[in-house]
């Protein structure tokens, strides 16, 4: 038996849901929800059933389907009553039970301290990626809660309001739910910033009658203008911006109330696209358009599918007002966004998978969210980084640039070509060597602006991103990918170094036995080492001694006191080298040593010695490409003296744009760093890049790293790195 409460819902959905079986299921869901919540009250004192019905009405007003409405009515029964998911699955089907389960998991979240809040927001965003209907119900649920927030304690009101502004309103905006987004923002501002809310509200109300009269005059003039020029099938609406949008312009953009040009907006809704541009021509021909205020979102829609023509003009009485021109279909999407685009239609079979795919295709940002949620296991810092990535890179994105093929890429404010490259694909970012914006070569730290056409130059032999890119990138997504690459690259280099150290130690002790993962687990799992690769890394970091590994193999523990004594003697003695190289070979008083001319090692580099066939010892940087091909049996341990009174040659390769002043800028930095240049070579490649190779004289690796950091500060530099021959 239904009542007046249910009839208020039925009145809305019966306008578009005509199938009798679907209507019966919605009624059945209402009866179960009403009976299950019997005796339960909201904090406002109202019967609890009023809440799920209000949520369902909000969703019915945006054309949601029967399953979504059933789930909305039932969204709290599993959490608050004895009804189970299995019960719902039997009575309403697996799809409804799946939606309710998703909403229930989100409802269980408690927002108290910052870490749990980040974790809970992460779960909410991932739930949205799995099924958009879950988040639609959560947004409607939040909207009704905001309407009844007066019954909550003040501290809870502020917390919920801020959370609404940070998460729910931006999601509603991204989904194009303008009506819901505007109400969420206004209601949240009232509790989060009450003084500013009432100040803006007072300013709007102070001249309300005057503005309404102005809107009526303007709409009358435009109506006559369109009729006189043969347009018939159209509607004209006038509106004043919502409180929150005016608050942002006043308090965030620092504009006075009188300087907000688009406070008044006139909307012209026509029957076809051609009429949009015809109406625009008439408006511009009869009113004075304000420069740089015209935007064509029909030719280039916003990422949330919004389409419209925008222009700001001056009326004959001196009033500034914005004109928005669009078709009826565009207006529906402008008001209801994704809900209008995927509104329920009779005789159309719903497929969650198909809808998710279509949404990812049409809403670029939604595809990005899907990728982020799939990549969640790769985010080492957990929920906080994931939430910040979504909030900054997706919900907060407001710069729209184009690929050379015309595809729109959405980026956060201040984004650079590096952010653009990683948004295209991780491999594009990792192999990036340069970029052009609007067909002009730019530095990697150039700030992108809406409307820019960006192209990335890649090189398969690129060494990948450097540490300096982390300072240039603005998006959390790009920073995460750069960190992942650098961590992996660093781990690989450390593993190679550690492997080389242990192989030399095995050779010195004439041990031919292979070290296995099982051996590592048995002896080093207490050190957090899981496999052979981990062991190599720990050896390279000096966390585990190669001699300890040898001791484990031969079954004898190393004499820790003797080892500690040797280490102390080795580190405390100040060896002053009279050798030209500054390299020590323990046990040899006057060895014949030569620094490798392929890698030019300098003090501070990890080095190894190689006994050449002519009898001398050639010293190589451990990262030298030639080290791999050297005979393991001829490698020996060498190290730098603690005091070396000379400068060493080494090579640098610097890549930048084909620009007359580029070489001058680099040489100026090198000279300012008090570094001598022994040789210099510069050439321009076919891809219009300048490649500078320097042979410099420098004291040690610390001084070299400072020089590289200074060179990287030159805005035009694409990359700077050690060079090997």
Looking at the annotation, which residues are catalytic?
79-80
Number of residues assigned to the chain: 725
Q: How distant is the alpha carbon of residue 725 from its chain centre?
A: 38
DSSP 222: H
d(CA 376, CA 87): 32
DSSP 8-state secondary structure symbol assigned to residue 378? G
Element (H, E) at 276: helix 273-286
Rounded Cα distance between 601 and 612, Å, is 17
In the block, tokens 């653009």 appear at 420
Distance in angstroms (rounded) separating the CA atoms of residues 530 and 386? 27
Q: How many whole angstroms separate alpha carbon 175 and alpha carbon 71?
A: 20
235: nearest Cα among 330, 161, 303: 330
| DSSP string covering 66-91 | HHHHHHHHHTTHHHHSS--HHHHHHH
Question: Phi/psi of residue 664, each to 5°?
Answer: -60, -45
Question: Which residues, other chains included, contact 21 with Cβ-Cβ below 8 Å and sequence gap of 6+?
Answer: none
With CA atoms as reference, report the closest residue to 638 among 676, 662, 684, 603: 603
Task: Evaluate whether 655 touches 662 at the Cβ level (below 8 Å).
Answer: no
Give the β-pairing of 454-458 and 432-437: antiparallel
Residues 405 and 459: beta-carbon distance below 8 Å: no
Task: Determine the 3-state secondary structure of 218 from DSSP.
Answer: helix
- How crowded is residue 56: how many other Cβ atoms within 10 Å of its Cβ? 31
d(CA 346, CA 335): 22
Separation between Cα atoms, residue 469 and residue 692, nearest integer Å: 20
Strands of 259-366, DSSP E: 264-270, 288-289, 295-296, 309-314, 320-327
Report d(CA 190, CA 244) in Å as an integer.
9
Whole-angstrom distance, CA of residue 524 vs CA of residue 552: 10
Interatomic CA distance for residues 471 and 464, integer angstroms: 15
Q: What six digits make up the tokens of 569?
A: 């003697």
What are the tokens at 678? Answer: 């022994």
- In degrees, rounded to 5, the angle at the alpha carbon of residue 305 between the alpha carbons of residues 303 and 310 is 90
Nearest to 24, CA basis, from 70, 61, 57, 65: 70
Helix (H, G, I), strand (E, B) or coil at 238: strand
Listed in order, strand segments (DSSP E) in 512-670 are 583-584, 593-595, 607-611, 617-621, 635-636, 639-640, 648-657
Task: Check residue 446 and give left, alpha or beta (phi > 0: left; psi -120 to 50: alpha).
Answer: beta
């Amino acid at each position: 038996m239904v009542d007046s409460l249910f009839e208020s819902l039925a009145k809305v959905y019966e306008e578009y849901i005509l199938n009798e079986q679907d209507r019966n299921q919605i009624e059945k869901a209402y009866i179960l929800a009403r009976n299950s919540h019997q005796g339960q009250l909201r904090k406002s004192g109202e019967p609890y059933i009023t809440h799920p019905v209000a949520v369902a009405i909000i969703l019915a007003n945006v054309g949601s389907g029967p399953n979504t409405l059933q789930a909305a009515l039932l969204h709290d029964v599993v959490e608050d009553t004895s009804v189970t998911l299995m019960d719902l699955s039997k009575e309403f089907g697996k799809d409804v039970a799946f939606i309710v389960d998703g909403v229930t998991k989100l409802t269980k979240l408690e927002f108290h301290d910052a870490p749990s809040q980040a974790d809970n927001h992460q779960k909410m965003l991932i739930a949205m990626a799995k099924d958009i209907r879950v988040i639609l119900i959560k947004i409607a649920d939040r909207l009704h809660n905001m309407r009844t927030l007066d019954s909550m304690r003040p501290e809870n009101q502020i917390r919920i309001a801020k959370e609404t502004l940070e998460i729910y309103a931006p999601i509603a905006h991204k989904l194009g739910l303008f009506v819901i987004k505007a109400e969420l923002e206004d209601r949240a501002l009232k509790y989060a910033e009450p003084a500013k809310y009432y100040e803006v509200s007072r300013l709007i109300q102070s001249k309300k009658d005057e503005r309404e009269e102005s809107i009526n005059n303007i709409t009358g003039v435009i109506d006559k203008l369109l009729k006189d020029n043969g347009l018939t099938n159209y509607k004209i609406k006038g509106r004043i911006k919502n409180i929150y949008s005016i608050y942002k312009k006043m308090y965030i953009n620092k504009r006075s109330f009188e300087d907000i040009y688009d406070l008044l907006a006139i909307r012209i809704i026509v029957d076809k696209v051609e009429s949009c541009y015809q109406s625009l021509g008439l408006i511009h021909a009869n009113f004075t358009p304000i420069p740089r205020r015209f935007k064509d979102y029909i030719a280039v829609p916003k990422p949330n599918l919004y389409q419209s023509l925008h222009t700001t003009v001056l009326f004959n009485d001196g009033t500034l007002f914005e004109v928005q021109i669009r078709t009826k279909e565009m207006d529906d999407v402008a008001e209801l966004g994704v809900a209008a685009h995927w509104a329920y239609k009779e005789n159309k079979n719903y497929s969650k998978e198909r809808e998710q795919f279509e949404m990812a295709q049409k809403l670029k940002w939604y595809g990005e969210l899907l990728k982020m949620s799939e990549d969640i296991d790769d985010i080492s810092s957990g929920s906080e980084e994931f939430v910040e990535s979504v909030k900054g890179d997706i919900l907060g994105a407001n710069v729209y640039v184009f690929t050379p093929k015309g595809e729109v890429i959405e980026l956060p404010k201040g984004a650079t070509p590096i952010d653009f490259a990683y948004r295209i694909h991780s491999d594009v970012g990792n192999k990036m060597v340069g970029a052009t914006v609007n067909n002009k070569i730019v530095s990697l730290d150039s700030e992108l602006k809406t409307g820019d056409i960006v192209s990335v130059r890649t090189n398969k032999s690129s060494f990948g991103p450097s540490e300096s890119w982390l300072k240039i990138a603005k998006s959390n997504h790009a920073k995460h990918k750069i960190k992942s690459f650098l961590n992996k690259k660093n781990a690989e280099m450390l593993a190679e170094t550690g492997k080389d150290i242990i192989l030399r130690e095995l050779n010195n002790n004439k041990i031919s036995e292979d070290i296995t993962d099982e051996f590592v687990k048995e002896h080093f799992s207490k050190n957090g080492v899981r496999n052979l690769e981990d062991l190599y890394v720990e050896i390279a970091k000096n966390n585990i001694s190669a001699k300890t590994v040898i001791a484990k193999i031969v079954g004898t523990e190393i004499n820790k006191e003797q080892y500690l004594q040797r280490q102390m003697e080795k580190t405390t003695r100040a060896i002053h080298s009279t050798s030209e190289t500054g390299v020590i070979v323990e046990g040899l008083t006057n060895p014949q040593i030569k620094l490798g001319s392929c890698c030019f090692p300098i003090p501070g580099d990890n080095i190894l010695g190689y006994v050449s066939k002519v009898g001398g010892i050639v010293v190589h940087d451990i990262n030298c490409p030639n080290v791999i091909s050297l005979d393991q049996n001829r490698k020996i341990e060498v190290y730098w003296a603690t005091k070396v009174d000379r400068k060493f040659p080494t090579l640098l390769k610097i890549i930048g744009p084909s620009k007359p002043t580029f070489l001058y800028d680099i040489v100026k930095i090198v000279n300012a760093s008090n570094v001598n240049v022994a040789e210099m070579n510069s050439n321009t490649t076919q891809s219009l890049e300048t490649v500078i190779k320097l042979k410099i004289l420098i004291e040690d690796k610390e001084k070299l790293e400072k020089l590289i950091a200074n060179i990287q500060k030159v805005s035009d530099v694409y990359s700077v790195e050690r060079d090997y021959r």
